[in-house]
Structure 1
Amino acid sequence: MRTASEGDQVTTLELLFDLVFVFAFTQVTFLMSHGEPPASIAQGVVVLALLWWSWSSFAWLGNQAHANEGVLRAALIVAMAAVFVLSLTIPEAFHDLEGGLYAPIVFACCYAVVRIFHLSTYLVAAGSDAALRRQVLASLLTSALPSIVLLVIGALADEQWRLPIWGAAVVIDLLAIYVTSNIGGSWRVQSVAHFTERHRLVVILALGESIVAIGVGVSLDPITAQIVLGSVLAIGLSVALWWAYFPRIADDAEHLLEMTDGVARAKMASDGYTYLHLPIILGVIITAFGIEEVMGHLGEEHLGWVGASALGGGVALFLVATIAFWLRMSRRLLLARLVAAIVIAAAIPVWSLLPGLWSLACVFALTCTLAVFEAVTSFRTSPESNAHEHTT
């Protein structure tokens, strides 16, 4: 392997790897919409967290060594195939259909392949860095193996126990690596440009799922004025979420990360991107589910609690997650954005009583108002100023 260096960019093989997660995100939305809420939403959250851990682990590995060369290239290809098969099992992960293979076990085995190939390849990529090798081994023993065992146990257990057992696997994964990383502090961010671009791309993929949801909800219906209006509003909402992340905070966050180095850089990258980008992605996927509910029930007088909770809750979660991300990176609170998130979430009972188009229009109007307010007030300050305050 060839160790990565500052300024390295995302490779085409990593882009191909990411495309598998487009299908995976679509399957998560399918799981949420075709199950029995709120249980199906909780199931979708657990599956998305496991998918996120699979994606994020290779984002770190691709930052350590060149992803399109040698052993890492082979590991990415194997992981890509495993994630795709895992994605095929998502609709059956919590309720296996008759005939064929037992989907929950296939799901658990594919996840095990991804994690084991990742960590074993990371040991090779670490090279002569003894501290990094110890960190990888700690992750294997305290995070990967326990979570894999719990996934297998949950797959073999009765369906009613699968969700809490798999949820425990997610919690162990998140906490174990967080604790060992803070104790050892041995992860490396070789290229800030590569690391931040990987996470920007996965946000774009999630936003793409919100656009796909527009068509899924009305794919079998003849085109009508309601469908046209709903599609325009849904596209507008997706653009508003893009605006809240990319033009407003993404570039400055990258600059702030560039101004740190060593352990501080790895800690900031882990907190801001590995952990706080999970609720950002989750907010987009839940919003996509809400959009699909709106588009699938255009003729009804009320959107209902499920669609309203997904639409309002997803947007509010996305805004709160971007607030937390920016707060971690710059130590600055986006107060107006927090107020908007609270208003959107608090109005969920109102959205449930309105027709779907009206609810979508109101949420879109509120996010646009926030975008205009932030643009006018220019909440951003220079990265140098933020970095100085962070260092102080």
Structure 2
Amino acid sequence: MSEQRGGALLRTMASSERATFLELFFDLVFVFALTRVSQRLITDLDGSGETMVAGVGRTLLLFLVLWHVWTITTWVTSRYEPERIVIQALVVGTAFGSLVLGVTLPRALEERALPFVLAYVVMMVGRPLVIVAALRGHPRRTVPLRLAAWAGTSAPLWLAGALLPGARLPLWVVALAVDYLGTYLGWPLPRLGRSRIRSWLVAGEHLAERYQQIFLIALGESVLVIGVAYSGERFSRQGAAAFTLAFLVTALLWRIYFHRAGFLLAEALRRAGSPGRLAESAAQTHLFMVLGVLAAAVGYELVIAHPFDPAEPRWLVFVAGGPVLFLAARSRFEYEIFGRISRSRLAGLLALVLLAPVLTAGPALLALGTVAGVLALVALADARHARGRPPESSASPLGREMRGEAGPEA
């Protein structure tokens, strides 16, 4: 009887695969949190080259903490019925914890380390334990047990780093590595074994919609950065061109992402013999696409504030490097959906890499305009290739692998 009551927490064929309004509410927190990531990156640019690299590395660590929280939450709402009170309470609690992460992130490696870590540890350890209790005697309770055990293993490292400023960074790097390694390995435990994400039964349409939404969140953060940068104290005619180009680049990133592959992720997951494997790969790909968008947003702020200053190499890391990272990840995404990569994306990526050294000879505005021009050519090539042809269906090579290998806990 307890197993049946616990099983009511799981998604069924009758469950809606659309993202809930509560999940969209949860995403609002991440719009704010991602702006804190961008602002910390901007601050990191004030020092020398070595200082900048170190600062970007530290900010990347904090971003990966946010990404881990969002990803695990998405998988939770894809495995369990989001209309259940227990799951809704967990999502609301995670939203508050994520807000704490966003508030403390700008100084998380300094004086706000302890509240940052406490919010993260409580979410990562407490959430799976609540699910274990709600599942009662159901066999699938071992999956959240694994998550709680691995989160409990890294928790002392996180807390020790918060309390020991001199050892904070290396301890947190190791702790984050433990968290991501656990996810990659399937959180293996003695006697219980492991449960790889790729073997899970997932709500494909729900996951596809959530990945699309996190990409749109990143674009929304970019729009916020563009608006704030141009409407601030440096509002001027000189920045108007940079303001316009920044919005154009953002719109082109949207267009390139959603051209076919972005729309077909749900279809690819439905057709996949191993949807968990495709979803796991798509999660990794979206991580890099979102990073590319965030890096580009940093570039927007720099160019809007200093449109006619020389394009310094460290600025181009964001102005051109962000779109390069996006195109590289978007090419992988295309392979995940179709099993091939368009030459236009590879050509655009190569063009930006080759032009970057030349762009240092001109103003920052010219660099941003060049990026917009290259992305526009990629988008036009997509439109030309699709003209007069029937819509292409998904043919994911990942979905054809591991068919029928889902275990009893899937």
| Cα displacement (A) at 1:38 | 2.0
Instruction: Tell me by how many angstroms 1:197 deviates.
Output: 0.8
Alignment of 1:130-209 (within 5 A): 130=139, 132-142=140-150, 144-158=151-165, 161-180=167-186, 184-185=195-196, 188-209=200-221
**More displaced stretch, 150-159 vs 74-83:** 150-159
1:3 lines up with 2:6 in the alignment: no
**Structure 1 residue 29 and structure 2 residue 38: aligned?**
yes
What letter matches 2:341 in structure 1? Answer: L
Q: Deviations over 1:80-112 (max 9, x none)?
A: 11111111111111232xxxxxx1011111101
For residues 194-273 of structure 1, the aligned pairs below 5 Å read 194-221=206-233, 223-261=235-273, 264-273=274-283
Which residue number in structure 2 is paired with residue 277 of structure 1? 286
Q: Give 1:29 deviation, angstroms.
A: 0.6
Q: CA deviation at 1:223?
A: 3.9
Asked if 2 retains the 8 angstrom alpha-carbon contact of 1:64 and 1:190, the reply is yes
Q: Distance in 2 between matches of 1:83 and 1:388?
A: 35
Q: Secondary structure at the match of 1:51?
A: helix
**Could you say if the C-alpha distance between residues 254 and 305 of structure 1 is closer, same or farther in structure 2, counting changes exceeding 3 Å?**
same
- State how far apart, in whole Å, the 2-side matches of 1:224 and 1:338 are: 36
Residue in structure 2 matched with residue 74 of structure 1 by the alignment: 89
CA distance, structure 1, for counterparts of residue 333 and residue 134 of structure 2: 29
Structure 1: which amino acid aligns with 2:11?
A: A
Is the partner of 1:201 in helix, strand or coil?
A: helix
Q: Which amino acid aligns with 2:285?
A: L
Q: 2:345 is matched by which residue type in structure 1?
A: R
- Percent identity reads 25
Distance verdict in 2 for CA 1:147–1:325, change over 3 Å: farther
Deviations 1:171-210 (A, max 9, x none): 2222221112795346634422211111111110101111
TM-score, scaled relative to structure 2 = 0.84
Q: 1:336 to 1:181 in 2, by over 3 A?
A: farther
Distance of 2:298 and 2:234 partners within structure 1: 21
Which structure is larger by alpha-carbon Rg, 1 or 2? 2
Long gaps (5+) in structure 2: 1-7, 189-193, 402-410
In the alignment, the residues of structure 2 paired with residue 288 and residue 121 of structure 1 have an alpha-carbon distance, to the nearest angstrom, of 37
More helix, by proportion: 1
2 CA distance for matches of 1:282 and 1:246?
17
Residue 51 of structure 1 aligns with which residue?
A: 66
- Offset at residue 56 of structure 1 (A): 0.9
CA 1:149/1:313 → structure 2, altered by over 3 Å: closer, same or farther?
farther
Secondary structure of the corresponding residue to residue 95 of structure 1: coil
Distance in 1 of aligned mates of 2:332 and 2:247: 25
CA drift of 1:122 comes to 3.6
> Could you tell me how far apart the structure 1 residues matched to 2:280 and 2:223 are?
29
CA distance in 1, matches of 2:68, 2:23: 16
Shift of 1:77: 1.5
Query: TM-score normalised to the size of structure 1?
Result: 0.88
Provide the residue aligned with 1:111 in structure 2: 120
Structure 1 residue 156: deviation in Å? 2.5
Is 1:325–2:333 an aligned residue pair? yes
Amino acid at match of 2:64: A
When structure 1 is superposed on structure 2, of 221-230 and 38-47 the one drifting more is 221-230
Q: Which amino acid aligns with 1:69?
A: R
- The answer (yes or no) to whether the contact 1:82–1:111 under 8 Å persists in 2 is yes
- The 5 A counterparts of 1:335-346 are 335-346=343-354
Match of 1:99 in 2: none
Q: For residues 222 and 209 of structure 1, what CA distance do their matches in structure 2 show?
A: 20
* Cα distance in 1, alignment partners of residues 343 and 134 from structure 2: 42
Q: Which residue of the other structure, out of 2, 21, 24, is the alignment partner of 1:12?
A: 21
Shift of 1:299: 4.3
Between the aligned partners of 2:346 and 2:176, the Cα distance in structure 1 is 27
1:100 corresponding residue in structure 2 = none
CA contact under 8 A between 2:269 and 2:399: conserved in structure 1? no
Corresponding residue number in structure 1 for 2:76? 61
Relative to 1, partners in 2 of residues 1:388 and 1:168: Cα closer, same or farther, differing over 3 Å? closer
Answer whether contact 2:239 2:305 (CA < 8 A) is retained: no
